Structure 1
Amino acid sequence: MKKVILGLTALCMIALTSCKEDASKKIDDKNVAEAAQRDANASKFPVLSFEKSEHDFGEIEKNTQVETVFNYTNTGEAPLVITDIKSTCGCTVPKDWSREPLQPGETGKFTVKYNGSGKNKVSKTITVTANTEKGKETVKITAFVKPDPNAPVQAAAPQVK
């Protein structure tokens, strides 16, 4: 049994060592240069820079629809691709952004529409999902929502004595 195991071990050693080629002969300088370029580009990201990161609508009446435009620039070193823009609730709707890659130095914009719901001080966050290093960028809208002057006045609850 020992002879069989020793024979198989010797056979495996011969098979494994006889097939070795010099690995340095297989390296192609062109492939090395391409890999170095690819690795250098992998560390370059687009940077989403907003003209303003917050917009205040001021005082608005309840249920008054307002909208603003957020302008942005790709200040990074790679094409910017915005895949999604979402808000924290359905009362704020982002729209009209380009799904096409934005080259470094180019500008874009998107519109945010707010329906005037809520009351008093309202703040909504809009999240932009893109291929930036962080992956998500945010902008905000704020407003002070006043009661609708045409709304029926509710009677005060009777006081209990």
Structure 2
Amino acid sequence: MSCKSDNTANNPANQATKVVTPGDGTAAPMGEGAVSNQEATGNPNETMTPTGPTTTMVLDKTEYKFDNVKEGDIVETSVKVTNTGKEPLVIVSCKGSCGCTTPKCPTTPIAPGQSVDVPIKFDTHGKPGSQSKDVTITANTVPAQTKFRIFGEVERVNKDKAN
């Protein structure tokens, strides 16, 4: 699956329910349920609805700006997710807004007060120019979806020139 080289994250159809801002911490938790550790390649608009008791979570940051990179590079980052509620935090899915953006969900519930890192990779192959991609984390929280954005500038590589 390949991504369009345009900025799909700005398309209203690709916008998440909520973007958590620093200190917000109002994202709600999901109930107990299945957890996927597969890298996301599906439609970010398809959502899994968590069931069971809800909790709250906070991200250590809401976005990551990468330095200028060359087309074809893989940008890697992570976001720390902390369960700030009283029930186990169950992340049921992590999806990128494009097949080129792949987060990896934890496979086990996160105990109250505990944190986990969610690694994220962005493949810049065929993506020259300004890029902005979203990762949607769906969990037993209210609202169920929380977004994290990765963005930066990708320098076009001229394939006709020898280095």
TM-score in same-fold range (> 0.5): yes
Match of 1:146 among 141, 145, 155: 155
Deviations 1:54-90 (Å, cap 9, x if unpaired)?
Answer: 0011201001112101111001121100011001111
- Alignment: residue pair count: 109
Alignment of 1:1-161 (within 5 A): 45-95=54-104, 97-117=105-125, 118-149=127-158, 151-152=159-160
Q: Shift in Å at residue 45 of structure 1?
A: 3.0
SS of the residue aligned with 2:153?
strand
Structure 1 stretches lacking a partner, 5+ long:
1-43, 154-161
CA distance in 2, matches of 1:77, 1:45: 9
**Aligned partners of 1:58 and 1:142 also within 8 Å:** no
Letter in 2 for 1:88: S
Higher helix share: 1
* Greater relative contact order (CA < 8 Å, ≥ 6 in sequence): 2
Letter in 1 for 2:75: V
Letter in 1 for 2:72: N
Structure 2 stretches lacking a partner, 5+ long:
1-52
Letter in 1 for 2:153: F
Q: Shift in Å at residue 114 of structure 1?
A: 0.7
Letter in 1 for 2:132: S
TM-score normalized with structure 2 length: 0.63
CA distance in 1, matches of 2:157, 2:74: 13
TM-score normalized with structure 1 length: 0.63
Aligned-residue Cα RMSD (Å) equals 1.7
**Aligned partners of 1:85 and 1:127 also within 8 Å:** yes
Q: Shift in Å at residue 121 of structure 1?
A: 0.9
Instruction: State the identity %.
Output: 31
